[in-house]
Amino acid sequence: MTMHGEDFRGPDGPDLVGDPLAGERTVVVGGGVGGLATAPYLAAMGADVTLIERNDDLGGVAARIEGEGFRFDAGPSWYLMPDVFERYFAQFGHEPDDFYALERLDPHYRIHWKDGDEVAVPDDPEAVAELFESYEPGAGAAFREYLDEAAETYRIGMERFVYEDRPRLRDWVDLDVARSARGLTFLGSMQDHAADYFDHPKLRQLVQYTLVFLGGAPHNTPALYNLMAHVDFELGVFYPENGIYSLVEALRDLGREHGVTFRTDETVTAIDPGPPATVTTERDRLRADRVVCNANPAHVERDLLPTRARRHDDDYWIDRTYAPSAYMLYLGVEGDVAPLEHHTLILPEDWEPHFETIFDEPAWPEDPAYYVNVPSLTDDDAAPEGHHTVVVLVPIAPGLDDGPEVRDRFREQVLADLATHTGVDLRDRIEFEETACVSEFAEWVNAPRGTALGLAHTLRQTGPLRPGHRGGADGLYYVGGYTTPGIGLPMCLISAEHTATAVREDATAQSLLGRLTSE
């Protein structure tokens, strides 16, 4: 098996030499990871940048929850694709270690199947191949082949389709692109692709569970995303010191280093792209040359923009396929939680009924597949001594009724299921508890239908079929998981790069046009 664990950093990012935005004022609406990552780019290019966030703290869904000595990451909890983070910070003369230390996890995670079977997935692809072989004769060799293909898909996909923004369909009609894409599988589903390699249903689940990170299901996610196997099994799974919120703090500090002004607890109520643009908040009115929206484009177009500046009508947003929402439990518990690992998955042998309740016939799942995060097993500061922080995440359909009665009933169902299938009964030793669900995601970040992730990575919502970085009016831009390249912390960093590149290109073109007009 060819080992492809080396980092791929792709082409250079935006040109930060010179001041193409000198004298300009830019407002970034939304302090999620995408907005936080874009602001330093724009400031480094010479703009006077103000970022406005409606919540008390920065981070968007990547917020932090604290109470009674317990500390939780409210949203993302997996640190994957370290090459992307290194590449981002390197463009500013930094590395992640300047802001936070990383610990590589081994095992990456543990899986408990509900038939009593369990495995810990090691940080060694060859050991994983042996694990596959133990379930199915020949599966070890098939896994090595699958992983080689995933590594090549990752290299080509990142180089030609992720780091290079191709926002229009005609950008894909290119001979070099066609040559690069030769041999890649675009149109089939991940479900069918995994079945080409493995017969055992558990092995198929092992190479497909990461699709939940993309907001999809095996039957509706393109086979192109087999690249996630390379991300999982070869690039490694990490934990940043003090949790994922350390990334939010790093981006904030990087912004301050470049002069970005941050305004929190301030809600934007209207955006008029102008020119000049006007951003109205509940207590101020700001003039700007450009506006970058990290607030999701569905909310911006429907609630903040004048009709003339909208690119899509309401029907467009109604017809989108949204990624799952989530039922979240943030629990501070006393005592031991073995055999749970830092990351643990609890899966039924047949997870199709759960996916059907998310994408086909929305309902609360009767036999849920879910994820448990215990960061205190790695980070002693995440919980008081003798205690643990436990986060339970159950993917559910966006838009479900999540009133108190149904939430209470589902809480009891999930905690009982956890006790039955892992032996860890938390119910009598919970000292701190918060929950989040459809309603909270809709409230925190104005998420359509309370999705926790955004637009799912279906074939019709991948690449140029996702919303682009340029808005429906000059000087209006979007960034974040609803745009290309898509969902996830690494993708939001790359989205920020795409948005900054678009801004630079537009500013350069406008400057050139101005000079030609004046001559």
Question: Residues 193-249: pLDDT tens digits?
Answer: 999 999 999 999 999 998 877 788 888 888 888 999 999 999 999 999 999 999 999
Whether the Cβ atoms of residue 491 and residue 250 lie closer than 8 Å to each other: no
The residues, any chain, with a CB within 8 Å of residue 31's CB and separated by 6 or more, are: 51, 52, 53, 55, 58, 59, 60, 262, 264, 294
- Boundaries of CATH 1.10.405 in the chain? 124-235
Encoding tokens for residue 222? 């393109």
| pLDDT at residue 519, as a whole number | 61
Is 159 or 111 the better-scoring residue by pLDDT?
Answer: 111
- Residue 229 and residue 6: Cα distance in Å, rounded? 15
Is 367 or 161 the better-scoring residue by pLDDT?
Answer: 367
Average pLDDT over residues 147-171: 78
- Residue 137 and residue 142: Cα distance in Å, rounded? 10
| pLDDT at residue 212, as a whole number | 79
| pLDDT at residue 3, as a whole number | 33
For the segment 314-355, what is each residue's pLDDT rounded down to a tens digit? 999 999 999 999 999 999 999 999 999 999 999 999 999 999
| pLDDT at residue 274, as a whole number | 87
- Residue 182 and residue 316: Cα distance in Å, rounded? 32
For the segment 284-306, what is each residue's pLDDT rounded down to a tens digit? 999 999 999 999 999 999 999 99
Whether the Cβ atoms of residue 226 and residue 45 lie closer than 8 Å to each other: no
Task: Please report which confidence band the pLDDT of residue 176 belongs to, taking 50, 70 and 90 as the band edges.
Answer: low
- Residue 81 and residue 386: Cα distance in Å, rounded? 32
Give the mean pLDDT of the chain.
91
| pLDDT at residue 175, as a whole number | 47
Average pLDDT over residues 180-197: 74
| pLDDT at residue 5, as a whole number | 39
| pLDDT at residue 22, as a whole number | 94
- Residue 448 and residue 113: Cα distance in Å, rounded? 32
Lookup result for tokens 């940048």: 49
- Residue 505 and residue 127: Cα distance in Å, rounded? 47
- Boundaries of CATH 3.30.519 in the chain? 321-445
Encoding tokens for residue 265? 């607890």
Lookup result for tokens 């994922």: 244
For the segment 411-459, what is each residue's pLDDT rounded down to a tens digit? 999 999 999 999 999 999 999 999 999 999 999 999 999 999 999 888 7
**Share of residues in the chain with pLDDT > 70 (%):** 92
Cis peptide preceding 96, ω within 30 of 0: no
Residue closest to 309 by CA, chosen among 269, 274, 268: 274
- Residue 478 and residue 113: Cα distance in Å, rounded? 40
Residue closest to 378 by CA, chosen among 76, 103, 69: 103
Encoding tokens for residue 424? 């860890």
Residue closest to 277 by CA, chosen among 265, 292, 260, 298: 292
**DSSP states along 172-239:** G--HHHHHHHTT---SSBHHHHHHTT--SHHHHHHTTGGGGGGT--TTTSBGGGGHHHHIIIII--EE
- Residue 144 and residue 154: Cα distance in Å, rounded? 15
**Share of residues in the chain with pLDDT > 90 (%):** 80
What stretch of H or E contains 344?
Answer: strand 343-347
Amino acid at 94: H
CATH of domain 124-235: 1.10.405
pLDDT at 515 over 70: no
Listed range (35-39, 86-90, 242-246, 461-465) with the worst mean pLDDT? 461-465
Q: Which neighbouring-strand residues pair with 239?
A: 103
CA distances from 109 to 145, 170, 207 (A): 22, 41, 13
Cα-Cα-Cα-Cα dihedral sign, residues 43, 48, 51, 56 = positive
Whether the Cβ atoms of residue 68 and residue 432 lie closer than 8 Å to each other: yes
Average pLDDT over residues 396-403: 96
The residues, any chain, with a CB within 8 Å of residue 430's CB and separated by 6 or more, are: 331, 332, 333
Residue closest to 207 by CA, chosen among 149, 251, 267: 149
Encoding tokens for residue 98? 């300047």
pLDDT at 507 over 60: yes
Task: Please report which confidence band the pLDDT of residue 6 belongs to, taking 50, 70 and 90 as the band edges.
Answer: very low
3-state SS class at 119: strand
Average pLDDT over residues 86-112: 97
For the segment 258-267, what is each residue's pLDDT rounded down to a tens digit? 999 999 999 9
- Residue 32 and residue 489: Cα distance in Å, rounded? 10
- Residue 398 and residue 115: Cα distance in Å, rounded? 29
- Residue 441 and residue 407: Cα distance in Å, rounded? 15
pLDDT at 2 over 50: no
pLDDT at 389 over 80: yes
CATH entry 2.20.130 includes domain 321-445: no
| pLDDT at residue 1, as a whole number | 33
